[in-house]
Amino acid sequence: MKTMRKGSLYQVVIPENWKNVTIDHILKNHWQAPKKLIHSMRMEKDIKVNGELLPWDKPLSPGDLLQITLFKEVDYDVPPSFGELHVLYEDDHLIVVNKPAGMDTHPNEPGDTDTLANLVAFHFQSKGESCRVMHIHRLDRDTSGAVIFAKHPLSKAILDRLLIERKVKRTYLALLQGRLKQKKGTISEPIGRDRHHNTRRRVSPSGQKAVTHYNVLEVRENMTLTEVVLDTGRTHQIRVHMSHIGHPLAGDTLYGGKPVVSRQALHASRISFPHPLSGERIECEAECLDDVGLSRGTF
């Protein structure tokens, strides 16, 4: 499928294997866009074919040029703030960045200006792009690693769906206290709120399903470096599950870890997902930017 950007337009050349498809079919079936967004695009006359407004149920032919007004100039929804931003991947539709530890993913209060989203807004501004800063997922303040942001509503809607469908694959590095007996394993325990502590979560029979897979990379002295993959994305999932099996994260004092490093030793090291528009597989590796032992041979 040949695609290109021209000003505010995202242009798609209808391929040979898309014979007799309609605008309606492409939005609802190919991209599975939400109804509200499709309605908005219809009302605002955002889609043309070969420069003309056509009925959305009219069959298109291979070679037709589908023109969608995707790149609209909008105000930043967070104030841009200058700072160093580590970009792992970027195109017209999304950006993947490496969040440092000690920084929130997005503002939690109206006056917050020192979050990852503020840095992304400044990055957009410096490139002359006027678009909202839309995170697809987030990391705890003291967890570092790869985070995806969408650049327009269609990209966000598709990426949100891919996340729900577990097609966004995230791999973490976690430094655990103690020596794990098993080289690999799966923790399948539901997680719910801790009634006695506002910010904590805990394993609870009435909680939400949570599945964590781990694989031991290195064991040195009384710590274990593990690679962790999640089937679910519950709040504090890795921290809760590792504490539950008696091996809290180093530095994670909220869940029983000892302050042997400067923060909870958790890093989102790899992320892969199908591109929301083209379907091409995107894979990003995020290097840990501080020294808490989250790479081989460093502790």
Residues annotated as part of the active site: 140
Q: What one-character-per-residue DSSP string does 240-277 give?
A: HHHHHTT-PBTT-GGGT--SSSSS--EEEEEEEEE-TT
Most distant pair of Cα atoms in the chain: their distance: 69
Residues 6+ apart with CB under 8 A from 290: 100, 101, 144, 262, 263
Spatial CA neighbour of 106 closest among 88, 74, 132 = 132
Give 145's strand partners.
Answer: 99, 268
User: CA-CA-CA-CA torsion for 279, 283, 289, 290, nearest 10 degrees?
Assistant: 110
Q: How far apart are CA 91 and CA 88, in angstroms?
A: 11
Report, in this order, helix, strand and coil percent for the chain, each rounded to 5.
20, 30, 50
